Amino acid sequence: MDKFYITTPIYYVNDEPHLGHAYTTVLADTLARYHRLFGEEVFFLTGLDEHGQKVQEAAERRGVPPQQHCDEMAGRFLDLWRKLGISHDDFLRTTQERHQRAVQMLLGLLYEKGEIYKAPYEGWYCIPDERFWTEKDLADGRCPECGRSVVRLSEDNYFFRMGRHQEWLVHYIEDHPDFILPEARRNEILGFLRKPLGDLCISRPKFRLSWGIPLPFDPDYVTYVWVDALTNYISAIGVFEDEARFRKWWPADFHFIGKDILTTHAVYWPTMLHAAGIELPRHIFAHGWWLVDERKMSKSRGNVVRPLELIEKYGPDAFRYFLMRDMAPGQDSSFSEEALVGRYNSDLANDLGNLLSRVVRMIGQYTGGRLPGPDSEDLTDRELREETLRAVGRVRRHVEALRLDFALEEAIEIARRTNRYLERTAPWRLYKEGRRERVGTVLYYAGEVLRILGDLLGPVMPRKAGDLKSQLDICSGGAWDERIRWGVLKPGTEVPGGPPLFPRVRPEVPKQGVAGKALITIEDFQKLDLRMAEVVSAEPVPGTQKLLHLEVDIGGERRQLVAGLAKHYRPEELVGKSVVVVVNLKPTRIRGIESQGMLLAADDGESLTLLTPDRKVRPGAKVR
Ligand code: MSP
């Protein structure tokens, strides 16, 4: 059995999990599940990066000890992963003993090999990023990575001789074209490596940062957080403690990361491994970013998307589906709730959910709630069978090429095709014509497609795929080849059915319109009955400065209105004017007079102008 070892970055615990964390984790989870489905033995690792300045500061801000802060944040991440149905095999936290031991062993090994030396270090340090920069690295005197200000620091530190592995690394990347994926990222790293590669400062003096793993050869220092974090990929599988286990899983097949952390993974990590005499991971895949309003999410911009709210509204599986369907891995993609709702309604509710409900309903109506058996296959049936099986092959190839967006489009196209098949074969007509065998074949064929779709979509939507299968009482399992055969369903099985798989959701109306006004729907607007009216008479309301008492003709019917127009119009000016009236307003008494409607006028704060038509219209005409 082939093995497949896949990892996500380990996330910082200085912030709540957001859409970006959820994306990488769902991506890795989906691939882990596909590879299990394809019959491979999978080890899927995720976890948390718990040391370093940012975490120490986050804990300080909250006034709790760092470990307590980490434990609480770990609970949040794990809670989200549980809700999202993440099927990790291990959850590594860098504060765990097993990890700390491995980091110290690795550093000890590198130290003994002469790969680490002590030297004074002076440089520009970005506190939030915990990185030193040289003068020429800076962008306008600021951190080239995050743009924030840097401070000048000088101190003794330990260095890893990274620079001496530069040439080797360039050759390695050139000889292994699929080591760094996609290609654009590989070129980016090769470009980066055209400049001389310096050595890497791997320590932080304890007086400045205590929240870290002590260096095994100098207890006055803790390990630089990236050296600590990267080691997770080997500490989790027992690098220095369980040789058999390590041999079984290493090298990792895929490190999935976002493009923001490419250099650390594609330069620091390979050189560290090489120096320690450990094989490199097979592939590093850097995906793009989810952008919100065309920009990267960030707390300061206030555009951070929190997955929990979306999961509550649309369910974890629809959210997973959207993330996998709407990003071409490697490129950036825009996130919006409207796009999510659009996908949900079109692909999941209309195409997939609808197919299942139709088939289940027809089995209930035409074949007594039991799955019918197929009769002879005609050309349309054959086309459906062959097309479906061909598409299954394409789905698998897309998954293997990491194009989950294509894989899902292909899978939903299978559902669409089957809906068209039902339109063409029209079992409802066949039933009326008494052609029971044909009804049986068509429903059996549609059932088979649904069974296969349950398997194909399971890695992306594990719970909904389970619901789909239980509605048809399918307990499929077993090897991939067995699942994608045609004719697995057992005729005669009772089909229990169930509620709609994806009940349609209404697109959420933006809460505010112009100047903070609540938005209304077209139905709301249509509640107003607006009519053209002609003013028949007008006179002041006695005892008031502002009010006029008008009589208007709204087309064969007269209405009296009280309007606050006296400051803007003289009564005689109004007689004969064509105006717009809300005629279905509940009457109200003003100064003892019943006002039976309301005139429309424009108010610019200074004067009031009645709305009148620019051509003659008869009273009673509807205003739309
Ligand atoms: N702790 C380091 C990683 C150490 S791995 C040895 C770290 N953590 S992080 O919490 O900042 O997570 C970074 C990862 O989150 C990115 O690599 C990416 O996988 C994901 N994302 C963060 N923002 C993102 C988007 N806007 N879009 C997609 N994913 C992004 O860096």
Pocket test of ligand 1: the residue of 26, 73, 260 to mutate, having most ligand atoms within 8 Å of its CB, is 260
Quick one: which atom of ligand 1 is closest to the CA of 289?
A: 27
For residues 108-112, average pLDDT: 98
Note the residue count of the chain.
624
| Residue of 12, 16, 306 best suited for mutating to test ligand 1, as the one with most atoms within 8 Å of CB | 12
When the pLDDT of each residue in the chain is averaged and rounded to a whole number, the result is 94
Stretch among 6-15, 128-137, 372-381, 385-394 having the lowest mean pLDDT: 128-137
State how far the Cα of 181 lies from the Cα of 284, in Å rounded to an integer.
Answer: 6
Please give the Cα distance from 566 to 546 (Å, whole number): 5
The model's pLDDT over 501-544, given as tens digits with 9 standing for 90+, comes to: 999 998 765 555 555 556 788 888 889 999 999 999 999 998 88
Ligand 1 centre from 585 Cα, in Å? 56
CA 364 to chain centre: 37
What is the Å distance from ligand 1's center to 21 Cα?
6
- Which residue's CA is minimally distant from atom 27 of ligand 1? 289
Instruction: Determine the average pLDDT of the residues in 583-611.
Output: 89
Residue type present at position 72: E
Q: What is the pLDDT of residue 158?
A: 97
Do 231 and 110 meet the contact criterion of CB atoms below 8 Å apart? no
585 φ, ψ (degrees, to nearest 5): -85, 140
CA pair distance 184, 514, nearest whole angstrom = 43
* Nearest atom of ligand 1 to the alpha carbon of 12: 10
Q: Which atom of ligand 1 is nearest to the CA of 297?
A: 26
Q: Which two tokens stand for residue 352?
A: 């997939």
Enclosing H/E stretch for 229? helix 225-230
**CA distances for 1 relative to 40, 283, 356, angstroms:** 6, 20, 34
pLDDT of 573 above 60? yes
Distances (CA, A) of 539 to 219, 564, 600: 95, 12, 18
Question: What pLDDT shows up at residue 508?
Answer: 61
Query: Do the beta carbons of residue 329 and residue 287 sit within 8 Å?
Result: yes
pLDDT of residue 329: 84
What is the 8-class DSSP label of residue 515? G
pLDDT number for residue 297: 83
Q: Rounded mean pLDDT of 580-591?
A: 91
Inform me whether the pLDDT recorded for 138 exceeds 60: yes
Quick one: pLDDT at residue 30?
Answer: 98
Q: Phi and psi at residue 592, in whole multiples of 5°?
A: 80, 0
The helices-and-strands tally (H runs, E runs) of the chain is 23, 25
Given a cut of 60, whether residue 100 has pLDDT beyond it is yes
Type of residue found at 602: A
The proportion of the chain whose per-residue pLDDT surpasses 70, expressed as a percent, equals 98
Q: What angle do CA 408, 412, 418 make, to 5 degrees?
A: 150
Strands (E), 127-160: 131-133, 151-160
> What angle do the packed helices 53-62 and 66-83 form, to 10 degrees?
100
Ligand 1 atom index nearest CA of 232: 6
pLDDT (0 to 100) of residue 298? 78
At residue 592, the pLDDT reads 85
Give yes or no for residue 114 having a pLDDT over 80. yes
Pocket test for ligand 1, best of 54, 103, 289 (most atoms within 8 A of CB): 289
**Which two structure tokens, joined as six digits, stand for 293?**
């309003």
- 591-597: average pLDDT: 90
Calculate how far, in angstroms, residue 12's C-alpha sits from the geometric centre of ligand 1.
Answer: 8
Distance set, CA 47 to CA 36, 96, 258 (Å): 20, 11, 15
Q: Which two tokens stand for residue 505?
A: 């959701």
Q: Contact at 8 Å (CB) between 228 and 213?
A: yes
Which pLDDT does position 514 carry in this prediction? Answer: 57
Is the Cβ–Cβ distance between 390 and 414 less than 8 Å?
no
What distance in Å separates the CA atoms of residue 418 and residue 427, rounded to the nearest whole number? 13
Interval between CA 141 and ligand 1 midpoint (Å): 25
Pocket of ligand 1 (CB under 6 A): 9-12, 20-21, 23-24, 49, 229-230, 232, 257-258, 260-261, 289-290, 296-297
Omega before 500 cis (within 30°)? no
Six-digit token string for 438: 């044909």
List Cβ neighbours of 411 (8 Å cut-off, separation of 6 or more): 391, 395, 453, 456, 457
Averaged pLDDT for residues 343-354: 97
8 A C-beta contact, residue 32 and residue 87: yes
Lowest-pLDDT range of 12-21, 446-455, 515-524: 515-524
Q: What is the pLDDT of residues 39-54, one digit of tens each?
A: 999 999 999 999 998 8
Taking the centre of ligand 1 as the mean of its atom positions, its distance from the CA of residue 262, in whole angstroms, is 10
More confident residue, 577 or 604: 577
Q: Which whole number is the average pLDDT over 325-352?
A: 94
Looking at residue 442, its pLDDT comes to 98
Helix (H/G/I), strand (E/B), else coil: 162: helix
Q: Among 177-186, 345-354, 585-594, which is the least confidently predicted range?
A: 585-594
Average pLDDT of the segment spanning 391-399: 98
Atom of ligand 1 nearest to the CA of 230: 6
pLDDT band at 295 (very low <50, low <70, confident <90, very high): confident
Residues near 312 by beta carbon (within 8 Å), at least 6 away in sequence: none
Provide the greatest CA pair distance for the chain.
104
Ligand 1 center from residue 257 Cα (angstroms)? 7
| Band (430; pLDDT cuts 50, 70, 90) | very high
Residue 195 DSSP symbol: S
Cα separation, 524 vs 597, whole angstroms: 18
The preferred substitution site among 6, 13, 23 for testing ligand 1, maximizing ligand atoms within 8 Å of CB, is 23
pLDDT of residue 519: 77
- Model-level pTM? 0.81
Residue type, 505: V
Nearest CA to ligand 1 atom 9: 11
